[in-house]
Structure 1
Amino acid sequence: MARRYLKHILLFFLVTSVIVGAAEGYKEADYERLDDICSGSCWTVSKVREKKTGKIYALKTFVSGPKGYEHAEKEISALEQLDHESIVKMRTSNIENRQRDDPVHIALEYLPCDLDAALSHPEIRENKKEILYQVLSGVAHIHSKKLAHGDIKPANILIDPTTMTVKICDFGFCCKGEEELPFPGTPTGGYYSDILSVAGLMVRLYLGESSLKKKN
């Protein structure tokens, strides 16, 4: 019986330490930068290791200024509302505890590559149904929260080729489902845009990029 109580006490302290660590926010000193992964118009992503646990995360750093902050705020707000196995999880951020001019950092769940880079691998094509199912499941969860991703594409779908685990990432353009997106020529409504984007992804998975080029 004493062993059972000890087990519960250890579990309590473990869970508490995780919750407290997330609540304290991101601190640069807690992570070791390992490599650069990719970059966008207002952010960069690096591979980092949490020193305390040894766990690997993707660190997304937004440029200082209004544009970077707007994208960071949208992404953090969306990830705080979403909880699904096909959506990347946020470990922590510094949006609440940073200095005014400091960039926003988000520590995210890490997967080794994105679908855009992995599409040419034979095992990806062999598992296209499972991959598409996970993407559709994630999009359905996003829409169930009355949100739209706004930028569904292979580069924003992370994948682990060894396990075929798929997770949707990059919520900087996330919006309300009925909201019009700020891209020229975009159909009205974020829901509709997401559905069209998934249809395009389906074409690439089943027919390959060469078929799209021929049609164009």
Structure 2
Amino acid sequence: MAEQDTPLFLHGFDLSSHFVDPRPLGTGVTGLVLSAVDQRTGQCVAIKKLVMRDAVTVKHALREVKITRRLHHENVVRVHEVLAPYGRPLPRDPTQLSALYIVQECMETDLARLLEQGPLPTGHATLLFYQLLRGLKFIHSANVLHRDLKPANIFINMDQLLLKIGDFGLARIVDPHYSHKGYLSEGLVTKWYCSPRLLLSPNNYTKAIDMWAAGCILAEMLTGRMLFAGTSAVCHAV
């Protein structure tokens, strides 16, 4: 079978044919995500495609790869490998590539889908929130801000009630000993989980924005409703 005839290629993924049975999972903040079976291991994996069209998308893709490669924790989605088109290893200089592929573990569901069924039992919410805080503590200890923490980016295996934080497309590495005032991007956190500090000072924030989002998520797990469900940032602020 020609490479262009594989199911992955038909989804716009030019990867090796040892990834089979592709199925759309959703769209991350920076790219399309498919599930597939890696025939080398028999594992189901999630594959995220990062398109690199210009200097900005190249910068964002390489930053996401750098961040995901440095985060190894049981409450963070594990990355197995990062590939160039056609399943090739990344070259020393990947800036000329048209796309990158992040191959990571595939989780059963995400918290957003789980909350569509209503609030969680208190015991389940407590266990999941504990794992969320463990994952955040590790991420922050690596000097990384997630910047888009929300139920859709929190993944769960239901049989173990195992929680993992994923989708680092908007994450940023920061130096805790250096002021980043004026150098951090605006308007990143989804508005329902956005802290007042980020609304009032969008270019100057810390890991506290992730902690605020975590608190909003806890309230949503317990009540089944968004804590701040305004239709705009202005409604959210007031």
TM score, norm. by length of structure 1: 0.77
Following TM superposition, by how much is the alpha carbon of 1:146 offset from its aligned partner in structure 2, in angstroms?
1.6
1:135-178 CA distance string (max 9 Å, x none): 00000001111221111111111111222111000111111345
Alpha-carbon distance, 1:113 to partner: 1.3
Taking the aligned partners of 1:115 and 1:75, their CA distance within structure 2 comes to 22
RMSD over equivalenced CA pairs, Å: 2.6
Runs (5+) with no aligned partner, structure 2: 1-13, 85-89, 188-198
| 2:148 is the alignment partner of 1:151 | yes
Q: 2:207 aligns with which of 171, 188, 191?
A: 191
Percentage of identical aligned residues: 22
| Compared CA separation, residues 213 and 84, structure 1 to 2 (3 A) | same
Match of 2:25 among 29, 34, 37: 37
Number of residue equivalences: 191
CA distance in 2, matches of 1:194, 1:211: 15
Which residue matches 1:125?
121
Of residues 107, 112, 135, the one that matches 2:103 is 107
Q: Deviations over 1:21-48 (max 9, x none)?
A: xxxxx95222114200001453000001
Partners of 1:190 and 1:210 lie apart in 2 by 23
Give ranges in structure 1 of 5+ residues lacking alignment. Answer: 1-25
Q: Is the 8 A contact 2:82 2:102 kept in 1?
A: yes
TM-score for the superposition, normalised by structure 2 = 0.71
Cα 1:42/1:175, change in 2 over 3 Å: closer
Tell me which residue corresponds to 2:7.
none
Q: Which has the higher helix share?
A: 1
Deviation at 1:204, TM superposition (A): 0.8
The separation in 1 between residues aligned to 2:203 and 2:209, in whole angstroms, is 6
Alignment of 1:93 with 2:67, yes or no, is no
Task: Mark the CA change 1:86 to 1:150 in structure 2 (over 3 Å): closer, same or farther.
Answer: same
The structure-2 alpha-carbon separation of the partners of 1:173 and 1:90, relative to structure 1 and needing over 3 Å to count, comes to: same
